[in-house]
Amino acid sequence: RPKCRFLFITISIGLRLLAIILYATAPTYNSYEFSSRTRQLS
């Protein structure tokens, strides 16, 4: 179904934008700690 695919793409783009906005608005120390933590997990 094209509608479900469009919805999935919209949600994925929205989540990515939300993550970018949260990362940009977060304090420098918190964003640095978060990036180092994700680097350890992966």
pLDDT in tens for each of the 42 residues of the chain?
Answer: 789 999 999 999 999 999 888 877 766 666 667 677 777 765
pLDDT number for residue 12: 95
pLDDT number for residue 6: 94
Amino acid residing at 26: A
Task: State the pTM of this model.
Answer: 0.47
pLDDT number for residue 10: 95
Quick one: tokens of 24?
């940009």
Sequential DSSP letters for the chain:
-HHHHHHHHHHHHHHHHHHHHHHHHS-HHHHHHHHHHHHHH-
Q: Can you give the residue ranges of every domain in the chain?
A: 2-41
pLDDT number for residue 28: 62
CB 31 within 8 A of CB 23: yes
Q: Which residue has the tokens 């479900």?
A: 4
